[in-house]
Chain A
Amino acid sequence: MTIDRRGAWVLLLLASFACNRRQKVEVQPTIEEAAPALASSVHTRDPKSAGQLVSGFHQIEANAWRWTAKSFAVALYPPAGSGQKGATLQLKFTIPPVVTEKLGKVTLSASVAGSQLAPESYSRPGQYTYERDIPPGVLSGNSVRVDFQLDKALPPGETDLRELGVVVVSAGLESK
């Protein structure tokens, strides 16, 4: 059998293409961690909970808490039976004086799995718990996303390049 010159070029190109498509290195398996189970309640100081702080949380500070941005969200495990009976959402947080000094009254609202919860306003610095009932039928599955929203936040500035909302200590769902 003979291969004409054009055929040889095609073969050469194909061989070259095949070679270029090869994986550049053998890939070895790795020993991976088991997927972490979600908790119903998270403390922002706990690094193991970091995976449940979906967005809007800054670094841990003083090994105790985290600043948030204007919007922040957590993923929580719905407590047993909460789908039928409902649950209570609790957000423990602090409003530092600098926030009220510069922004005045701030309003916090939340939504769970798309269901809006009533907002609440705070005009003085201090420690607060934002607590709302979640009606039956909202919570289901192994994970629920809770979105929090502030109406105002401190913009990035000269001293701190971060957007600052409130200081959150924990967030959780409690069964009724």
Chain B
Amino acid sequence: MSRARAAAWWIAPSLLCLLLYWRGFTAWFRADDFDWLGLVLRVHGFRDFLAALVTPYSFGTIRPWSERVFFMAGFTLFGMNPLPFRVVIFATQFANLALMAAIARRLTGNAAAGFLAAIFWVLNSALVLPLGWVCAYNQVMCAFFLLLAFYFLLRQVSGGRSARRYEILQWLAFLLGFGAQETNLVYPALAAAYTLLCARKQFRRTLPMFAVSFAYLLVHRWAAPPQRTGDYAMHFTSGMLRTLKDYWMWSVGPAYLWTPFRAPAWLVPFAVALVSLGLLTFLVREWRSGSRTAAFFLAWYLIAIAPVLPFRDQRMDYYVYIPVIGLCWLGGQAFARGWRMAGRYRAAAAAMALLYAAMVVPRSVGASDYNHRLAERVRNLVEGVAGAHERHPDQTILLEGVDTDLFYNAILDHPFRALGFENVYLASGSGRNIAPHPDWGDPAEFILPPDVTAKALDERRLVVYDVGAPLLRNITTEYSGRPRSAEVPRLVDAGNPLEAYLLGPEWYGIDGDHRWMAKRATLRIGGPRAPGQRLYLRGYCPAGALRDGPLSVTVTIDGAPLAPAAIHPGENSFALSYPLPPSVVGALEMRVVVEVGRTYRVPPDNRDLGLAFGAFEVR
């Protein structure tokens, strides 16, 4: 291979990747990104730093390198500037492409197969989110450690004096991979599958790694027990086969079988079936000829996809990002072999490759563009609100016109907390424009009640912005002139200074986003609209307050006591609910008295502390 061809062999897949996902490279932050960007605010010392590295967050994930260190370092050094993050993401992906090509060349003995495998992976629509959404970097980094460990395994298998050194390096890459993502635990199965099929003498050397993965699994389940309900609950049922079928379709064809072409509904599945048939035919021929490499490629796919199959209700297109590497290797090998055979085999190989590209490239480009445009909307809102806060630093900001996309991508994960302010709310009525996704979050928690809004406007403590255009527009005066509701709110946030007028004089001042009560506290809240509605109390009770056993919490409504309740040791973030008497149904307001069984003190603070709130809600 000439020097120019060698350079092209290494560089061309990366250049194509940059070209195809340029919209991803230039995309801003969105959604979960903000949660991770704000993580650094929890760090005030070395102990906090360690806790931030390993405490399970976000549905029980523990990914120190790919999420914690990545975001904390990036935000500390560069703030909300996505470019440095993107440089790291794409650099890792370029390394992945080089490793992938090198591995395929070693396994098949064919440089073209390696090159084509990398190209096929670049085209696949599973790359859109890992490259375009910063918080999905864990996928890219996990692929890096898996490919790196496997590359070292191949070097080890090829023997020689360096074999031992490569085995150590393989172990290092394997162990470091646990800091990237949980999928790393499948590496022993990948290594075992390869050695079993292609290098049986080395098989036994892979077995100790299973013990490490098993230990990781035990520790992970102990630290972050699996969820039993919701999107991330695992379902070990026959439905996993249906999930596998769907992921296969999204791997060989476009994610969600989406196509921009006006085509009959059967066309894309039919094309997926054709390409799948081509791959499986090649696989069978290879098996019959005694070569097991193609079988390993399929095994890679099945082993890497296995951990996500139980997530019946959480199917994401980027979950095939790592598994599909196996199919791309298989496709690269099949194409290279078919092309070399000429005649109808060459034609079939070319047709399959073109069919694959025609299916996946429009999806990759379209989804990347959609992601970019969505992130731009988020950027306009977050940077616009930052501008509004700069102009009105002492006023709360109310946003009008937030829709579903903006809420779940720009509001829910508290982007403003990372910027040092949190007093941003949605205008009442915003809930009508936001599609409900209870597992993601509740818009009601961000909506400022009409009564609170009216009072805050009258006191000039609120500015209102319309977010319907790229530049935020101040509509405070116009908004003030709209008809008002004088209803006492049914959701009272004790930590919101604008709602202090609903609280009695017994409450202490605000501490950050919460407010302490002493032994007894009062407040006003709107009565239930219908029978059966309950009063919910959400807040925090430190472990110190529960050292002497359960803490009784007595609530009276308009003088009538409700059923007694208690907070038990371990229930530090408490949520209590009380049935409401029929007499208060339809009441414009209720007077609520909360009293705890005892108070406690935390020197040097000499206040008698009861509970920290939190919210009161009637629903």
Contact = CB atoms under 8 A, between A and B. Distances in A.
Interface of A: 19-20, 22-33, 36, 47-48, 50-51, 53, 57, 59-61, 63, 156, 158, 161-162
27 contacts: A22-B78, A24-B79, A24-B80, A24-B420, A26-B386, A27-B383, A28-B384, A28-B386, A28-B471, A30-B388, A30-B474, A31-B471, A31-B472, A31-B473, A33-B474, A33-B475, A33-B477, A47-B481, A48-B477, A50-B460, A51-B460, A53-B458, A60-B454, A60-B486, A156-B505, A161-B504, A161-B524
B380 interface: yes
Contacts of B79: 22-25
Contacts of A161: 501, 504-505, 524
Interface of B: 75-81, 380, 382-384, 386-388, 390-391, 418-420, 451, 454-455, 457-460, 465, 471-477, 480-482, 484, 486, 501, 504-505, 524, 591
Contacts of B460: 50-51
- By secondary structure, the A interface counts as loop
A19 B382 CA distance: 21
Nearest to B383: A28
B486 A59 contact: yes
3 closest Cβ pairs, A-B complex: A24-B79, A28-B383, A47-B480
Nearest to B502: A161
A47 B472 contact: no
A29 B471 contact: yes
Most buried by B among A20, A47, A51, A60: A47
A29 B388 CA distance: 8
Given A24-B79, A30-B472, A31-B472, 7 more contacts: A26-B81, A27-B390, A30-B384, A32-B391, A36-B477, A59-B486, A60-B458
Nearest to A48: B481
Given A30-B391, A60-B458, A25 B481 contact: no
Given A31-B473, A31-B474, A24 B419 contact: yes
Contact of A59 (B76, B380, B458): B458
Contact of A25 (B419, B451, B474): B419
Contacts of A47: 457-458, 480-482, 484
Nearest to A66: B458
Contacts of B484: 47, 60, 63
A31 B472 CA distance: 6
A139 B392 CA distance: 30
Given A27-B386, A29-B471, A50 B391 contact: no
A147 B360 CA distance: 72
A53 B477 CA distance: 14
A21 to B, nearest CB: 10
Given A29-B387, A31-B473, A50-B458, A61 B486 contact: yes
A28 B465 contact: no
Contacts of A59: 451, 454-455, 458, 486
Most buried by A among B75, B79, B382, B454: B79
B78 to A, nearest CB: 7
A27 B481 CA distance: 29
B383 A26 contact: yes
Nearest to B503: A161
Most buried by B among A28, A36, A63, A156: A28
Contacts of B76: 19-20
Contacts of B477: 33, 36, 48
B458 A25 contact: no
Nearest to A19: B77
B557 to A, nearest CB: 14
Most buried by B among A19, A25, A36: A25
A32 B474 contact: yes
B454 A28 contact: no
B72 to A, nearest CB: 13
Contacts of B476: 33
A30 B501 CA distance: 30
B229 to A, nearest CB: 36
Contacts of B388: 30
Given A36-B477, A47-B484, A27 B457 contact: no
Given A24-B80, A47-B480, A161-B524, A30 B458 contact: no
B458 A57 contact: yes
Nearest to B469: A31
Contacts of A162: 501
A49 to B, nearest CB: 9
Contacts of A22: 78-79
A94 B164 CA distance: 94
A5 to B, nearest CB: 22
A98 B485 CA distance: 25
Nearest to B79: A24
A112 to B, nearest CB: 22
B415 to A, nearest CB: 9
Nearest to B464: A33
Nearest to B381: A28
A53 B460 CA distance: 9
A82 B303 CA distance: 87
A19 B79 CA distance: 9
Nearest to B451: A59
B483 to A, nearest CB: 8
A91 B416 CA distance: 44
B234 to A, nearest CB: 38
Contacts of B451: 59
A36 B475 CA distance: 12
A63 B485 CA distance: 10
A53 B465 CA distance: 22
Contact of A28 (B75, B77, B81, B472): B472
Given A25-B382, A53-B458, A30 B78 contact: no
Contacts of B505: 156, 161
A89 B81 CA distance: 56
Contacts of A53: 458
B29 to A, nearest CB: 10
A28 B458 contact: no
Contacts of A156: 505
Contacts of A51: 460
Nearest to B389: A27
A26 B474 CA distance: 19
A46 to B, nearest CB: 8
A163 to B, nearest CB: 11
A19 B472 contact: no
Nearest to A53: B458
Nearest to A54: B460
B214 to A, nearest CB: 41
Contacts of B481: 47-48
Contact of B80 (A19, A25, A30, A57): A25
A82 B513 CA distance: 49
A161 B384 CA distance: 37
B419 A28 contact: no
